[in-house]
Amino acid sequence: MVCNSLGRRVDQQSLIWLVGLQNVFSHQLPRMPKEYITRLVFDPKHRTLALVKDGRVIGGICFRMFPSQGFTEIVFCAVTSNEQVKGYGTHLMNHLKDYHVKQNILHFLTFADEFAIGYFKKQVIIF
């Protein structure tokens, strides 16, 4: 889990992963403005679960938690095209679900385009 912070210094490796995530999201979500992706990935209120393979980011899920309302918004979810259909997206989502169960947040909200709806349908979440 990586995120930016205003209250503490962020280590260099976390910043490298955040830049890698920014690049993955920008490449895999070409209709999304790059400035918007950058703003949310580096926003201290957002967190990102990063999938790193052989030292490089190959996927991630950027989200913002709203604990008092009992839900989390999934903002970006992507895996690099050459690593898709290998179960990495499911792996990421399973880790995200486990993390949220521990935080007692049991609902997700996301807005998906026609290409992502199938993925989210496969990831039906029942607690």
Which domains are assigned to the chain? 12-122 (3.40.630.30)
**CB–CB of 44/8 below 8 Å?**
no
pLDDT of residue 127: 39
pLDDT of residue 112: 62
Rounded to the nearest 5 degrees, what angle is found at the Cα of 43, between the Cα atoms of 32 and 20?
60
- Determine whether 83 is an active site residue: no
Helices 34-41 and 12-28: angle between axes, nearest 10 degrees: 150
How many Å apart are CA 4 and CA 15, to the nearest integer?
A: 8
Q: For the chain, what percent of residues have pLDDT higher than 90?
A: 67
Q: Which residues pair with 16 in a beta bridge?
A: none
pTM of the model: 0.84
